[in-house]
């Protein structure tokens, strides 16, 4: 890779390395939530790039990644339906070939230091994750692609690189029962989430036999978290209550036993957990 992880570190403030270098993510410290960096360290590096994700893994942080498909059927890691915002090109992802997409610069828009970063394939992201077998992290796979094959293809790629046990499938998974069913058919070991926007929706999400995680988009009560755990499921929280620099809500989420937190401020959350 043209821009190595060392180059990434030099490009970021020294605090970026110091604050989180000793962070642990919850598997090693019971009751501490896993930290999941939204689109990677999106405030410090270009989102959804290998340089960004490698930094997460070096720091033992989990990350969220997005899944779409190119015109020639390749699964790529990009958030938007177009390449306009995060590359130096234009066009819909599904109207560009993989070669056309990867010819674009996916880093220079963020900072010239990251010029040359490319839109990675999902295969490349899973391969990178496999390079860190001892990193006890959670990677949230946001399925944005809408077809009947993507779930099985993702599971096959994850198995090829032996990373399925560190993936949590979100995105269309959390609201779409057929997506959950296809994932479960693809593997009984796939970790599948279903959303609950409030206490009323929580009932169905807890009882869903296809799921392993409840994806809450509100700060639940301690009793609700206890009920989820009693069903031998885990709790993933995202949304406005934790996405920002929400120190009070992070503390509350930790106290009530939430298992993973998705946030834009993963470095700050990691530092708070260490304290």
Looking up tokens 């689109």 gives: 39
Q: Is the pLDDT of residue 17 over 80?
A: no
Q: Which residue has the higher pLDDT, 19 or 96?
A: 96
**What whole-number percentage of the chain has pLDDT above 70?**
89
Average pLDDT score, the chain? 91
Alpha-carbon torsion (265, 271, 272, 273), positive or negative: positive
Angle at 251 between CA 246 and CA 257, to 5 degrees: 125
Q: For the segment 115-138, what is each residue's pLDDT rounded down to a tens digit?
A: 999 999 999 999 999 999 999 999
- pLDDT band at residue 229 under the 50/70/90 scheme: very high
Q: Which residue has the higher pLDDT, 265 or 3?
A: 265
Q: Is the pLDDT of residue 20 over 80?
A: no
Any idea which residues carry the catalytic annotation? Answer: 38, 79
Contact indicator for 68, 92 with CB cutoff of 8 Å: no
pLDDT at 23: 36
pLDDT at 54: 98
pLDDT at 25: 35
Strands (E) in the chain, as ranges, are 34-37, 62-69, 75-76, 139-143, 167-171, 191-196, 213-216, 234-237, 260-263
Q: Is the pLDDT of residue 24 over 60?
A: no
- pLDDT band at residue 46 under the 50/70/90 scheme: very high
Q: Average pLDDT for residues 144-165, to the nearest whole number? A: 98
Contact indicator for 53, 141 with CB cutoff of 8 Å: no
Q: Is the pLDDT of residue 154 over 70?
A: yes
Q: For the segment 174-185, what is each residue's pLDDT rounded down to a tens digit?
A: 999 999 999 999
CATH of 5-274 among 1.25.40.10, 2.60.120.10, 3.20.20.190, 3.30.1340.10: 3.20.20.190
Q: For the segment 231-252, what is each residue's pLDDT rounded down to a tens digit?
A: 999 999 999 999 999 999 999 9
């Amino acid at each position: 890779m043209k821009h190595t992880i060392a180059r990434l570190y030099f490009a970021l403030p020294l605090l970026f390395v110091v604050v989180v270098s000793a962070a642990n993510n919850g598997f090693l410290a019971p009751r501490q939530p896993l930290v999941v960096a939204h689109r990677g360290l999106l405030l410090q590096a270009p989102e959804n790039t290998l340089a960004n994700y490698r930094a997460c893994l070096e720091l033992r942080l989990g990350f969220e990644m997005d899944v779409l498909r190119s015109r020639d059927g390749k699964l790529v890691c990009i958030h938007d339906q177009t390449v306009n915002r995060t590359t130096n090109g234009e066009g819909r992802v599904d109207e560009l070939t993989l070669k056309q997409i990867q010819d674009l610069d996916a880093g220079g828009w963020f900072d010239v230091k990251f010029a040359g970063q490319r839109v990675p394939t999902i295969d490349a992201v899973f391969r990178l994750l496999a390079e860190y077998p001892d990193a006890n992290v959670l990677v949230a796979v946001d399925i944005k692609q809408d077809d009947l094959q993507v779930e099985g293809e993702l599971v096959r790629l994850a198995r090829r690189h032996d990373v399925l046990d560190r993936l949590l499938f979100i995105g269309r998974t959390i609201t779409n029962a057929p997506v959950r069913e296809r994932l479960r058919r693809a593997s009984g070991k796939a970790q599948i989430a279903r959303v609950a926007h409030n206490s009323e929706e929580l009932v169905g999400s807890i009882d869903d036999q296809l799921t392993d995680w409840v994806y809450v988009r509100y700060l639940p009560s301690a009793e609700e978290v206890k009920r989820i755990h009693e069903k031998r499921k885990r709790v993933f929280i995202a949304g406005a209550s934790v996405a920002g620099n929400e120190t009070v809500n992070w503390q509350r989420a930790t106290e009530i036993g939430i298992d993973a937190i998705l946030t834009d401020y993963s470095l700050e959350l990691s530092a708070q957990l260490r304290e």
